[in-house]
Amino acid sequence: MSEQTLRQDLHAAFKTRALIYYEIFNELSTELGDEKAEEILKKAIYRFGAKVGQKFTAYAPGDFTGLKNAFIGGIPDNGTLFKPEILHCDPDGLKLEFHHCPLMEGWLEEGLSDAEAERMCRIASIIDYGTFEGAGFHFEGQTWQRNKACQLKISPKHAIAITEDQSK
């Protein structure tokens, strides 16, 4: 099998993942409504992400160079699936932008409206929250919108100080 064929198969597998998410969402939505369906799917995807994040715990709370190298190095096909750009990496955190998403491509090819595709991206991207929070970091993500790239912002998890009044 050629490298090009493997690359195409990998790309197709990610699109298939997107369509599986969509079909599960639709089935849950039929039974429980859109909001409950989204909630359930997010919980499951977050839990899976937290399991994935265990391989990044060695970089918490502040080795962002190590995290960047491990995370970017783990993107299939040397990153071409998501085309990540490192916007910054310093002791305060890591900010990445993704210029391609085969999941979004799959949803749009399936004929989902922008609103439906945004919902599915919001659901699917919860894996990043699980991954980075599960690894011991604070995470913020900006998901897909038409003509905008996704952004991931990872920073140190800060402990919240509880005052005596708050503990009562």
Per-residue pLDDT of 39-77, as tens digits, reads: 999 999 999 999 999 999 999 999 999 999 999 999 888
Q: What is the pLDDT of residue 21?
A: 97
Q: Is residue 101, in this structure, part of any structural domain at all?
A: yes
pTM, to two decimals: 0.88
Q: What is the pLDDT of residue 168?
A: 43
Domain extent for 43: 3-156
Q: Is residue 161, in this structure, part of any structural domain at all?
A: no
Q: Which two tokens stand for residue 23?
A: 């079909």
Q: Is residue 115, in this structure, part of any structural domain at all?
A: yes
Higher pLDDT, 144 or 130: 130
Strand partners, 139: 154
Q: What is the pLDDT of residue 109?
A: 94
